[in-house]
Amino acid sequence: MEKILVVDDEQGLRDVLSIMLKRAGYVVTVASDGDEAIAQVQKEIFDLVITDLKMPRVGGLEVLKAVKAASPDTVVLMITAFASADSAVEAMKHGAYDYLTKPFQVDEVQLIIRNAIERRRLSTENMLLKRELASQSSFSQIIGQSEAMQKVYDVIKKVADSKSNVLIGGESGTGKELVARAIHFNSARASMPFVTVNCSAVPETLLESELFGHMKGSFTGAISNKAGLFEVANGGTIFLDEIGDTTPAIQVKLLRVIQEREFRRVGGTQDVKVDVRIVAATNRDLEKAVAEGAFREDLYYRLDVIPIKLPPLRMRTGDIPLLSQHFLEKFAKESGKPVPTMSQEAMRVLLAHEWRGNVRELENVVERVVAFTTGSSVTDADIRGWLHKPVSNHQALPSELPEDGLDLEGLINTIEKDLLLKALERSQWVKKRAARLLRLNTRSFRYRLEKYEIKGGRD
């Protein structure tokens, strides 16, 4: 249901327009002067604003500018008893949709309002169509059939329509933003904005303004009012990537948004209400950060309502063939080349690599291979030329137990999987030979291959 703000210093006209619009099914808010109108548009986003041009103190042009600063897509209709070519041009120059002279016919106003709302709807539908196309590929971009990824898919499907905040954990390059997009585009909010913020990429001094907006003159360079990304995401989802890198001051403001569903722009005095779902992501251990006093405990529990943990690529190597084929097809299509085939030798090299950069590193390697390979098949030499040299897990073994402890099971699993892959590579992926290298019987060796989802090779 569309929301309309009516601004006029004449109560009679306000009442007439309000009654007419409410009967037509619109949600109507009224303001008796420019100051009141500007305060309203800073708190709420309207589909249409109808404003008188000439009002005491703050006129319609100032209201128009404030509306466009807060919400550029809002349609503004100007009305006045003092029409002139100059004022019409000035209003249109600042983004007014149309210009009416008092007195006017009610039927005429109704027609113009319907047309203005229809224009807004068409603009929104065009935006929604683009988002629908994005939603169709949101799940397809998350590649993987491993048990670990199936669990992630199940969680996404179950929580997509929830209003609860989500905290996605995982190493860099595991695809946290893709999961956030899948959550949004499979939710009831899919028709509304999905806004991404990389908290570590925005300088600390600018992040507050980026998230919450600012008022003109609030700091050097603030030459106009600016809506923050929380306002842009109103009704939709905001993805706060690398949330663990935010400062205590930003964390306090984020906590208020979650608790009160409102905030203030930098330099502002009015509270701005929003309805936004937060999906946050981090590659840091936030529980440890909370214990060390580097992250607010209350904010952590507000964000970690629904936790999703993405596995590193080395723990789901069974997905490497699917991922590499997906990237081969993607980059071959982009470069206008035939899709090359991945040789068995090349695939074995991919499976044996430890992928510290996770899926992002694999994507980068395949993109380079497609760019530089001229043959119809990708060889192991093509792959090796672009791989970063793996660091031996044995070198990473601690000489003594760290003060804060360590993940013993995770360390043992990493070392065991690394040795399995090295044995397979040395034995040309003949499983019986690899098992003998590790002093394991065939049954025990197969069990470990299934445990770490290592596929391929021959008996």
Q: How confident is the model at residue 126, as a pLDDT?
A: 60
Buried b (16+ CB within 10 A) or exposed e, 425-454: bebebebeebbeebebeeeebeebbeebbb
Which pLDDT score, from 0 to 100, does residue 179 have?
A: 94
Q: Rounded to whole angstroms, how far apart are CA atoms 421 and 318?
A: 12
User: Are the CB atoms for 318 and 351 separated by under 8 Å?
Assistant: no
DSSP structure string for 330-361: HHHHHHT-PPPEEPHHHHHHHHHS--TTHHHH
Task: Quote the pLDDT of residue 195.
Answer: 93
Please give the pLDDT value at position 446: 87
According to the model, what pLDDT value does residue 130 have? 54
Q: How many helices (H) and strands (E) does the chain have?
A: 19, 16
**In the chain, where the domains are located:** 3-126, 149-309, 315-384, 394-459
Kindly tell me the burial class for residue 32, based on how many C-beta atoms sit within 10 Å of its own C-beta (0-12, 13-18, 19 or more). Answer: middle
State the pLDDT at residue 88: 61
Q: How far is CA 305 from CA 249, 284, 310, in A?
A: 22, 17, 16
CATH for 149-309, options being 3.30.460.80, 3.40.50.1820, 2.60.40.180, 3.40.50.300: 3.40.50.300
What integer pLDDT is reported at residue 389 of this predicted model? Answer: 55
Rounded (5°) CA angle 58-61-63:
65
Question: What is the C-alpha separation between 306 and 450, in angstroms, rounded?
Answer: 29
Residue 354 burial (CB < 10 Å; 0-12/13-18/19+)? buried
Query: Do the domains spanning 3-126 and 315-384 agree at the CATH topology level?
Result: no
The confidence score (pLDDT) of residue 83 equals 56
Q: What is the pLDDT of residue 89?
A: 66
Q: What is the DSSP string of 50-86?
A: EEES--SSS-HHHHHHHHHHH-TT-EEEEEESS--HH
Domain 3-126 has CATH 3.40.50.2300: yes
Residues in a beta bridge with 7: 31, 51
pLDDT computed for residue 127 by the predictor: 58
The one-digit pLDDT tens for each residue of the chain (459 residues) are 788 999 998 898 889 889 989 988 889 999 999 999 999 988 888 889 999 888 888 988 899 989 888 888 788 988 877 655 566 667 777 788 887 777 777 777 888 888 888 877 776 666 555 555 454 445 556 888 888 899 999 999 999 989 999 999 999 899 999 999 999 988 989 888 999 999 988 887 789 999 998 888 888 777 777 888 998 899 999 999 999 999 999 999 999 999 999 998 888 888 888 899 999 999 989 999 999 898 999 999 999 999 999 999 988 988 999 999 999 999 999 999 999 999 999 999 999 888 988 999 999 999 999 998 888 999 998 898 888 654 444 445 666 777 777 778 878 888 888 888 888 878 778 888 888 889 888 888 888 888 888 877 777
Nearest to 76 by CA among 89, 64, 58, 60: 64
Instruction: Compute the distance between CA of residue 112 and CA of residue 132 in angstroms, rounded to an integer.
Output: 30
pLDDT of residue 202: 85
Find all residues with CB under 8 Å of 246, minimum gap 6, and list them: 199, 207, 240, 254
Domain 315-384: assigned CATH number: 1.10.8.60
* Concatenated DSSP letters of 131-153: HHHHHHHHTTTS---SHHHHHHH
Q: What is the CATH number of domain 394-459?
A: 1.10.10.60
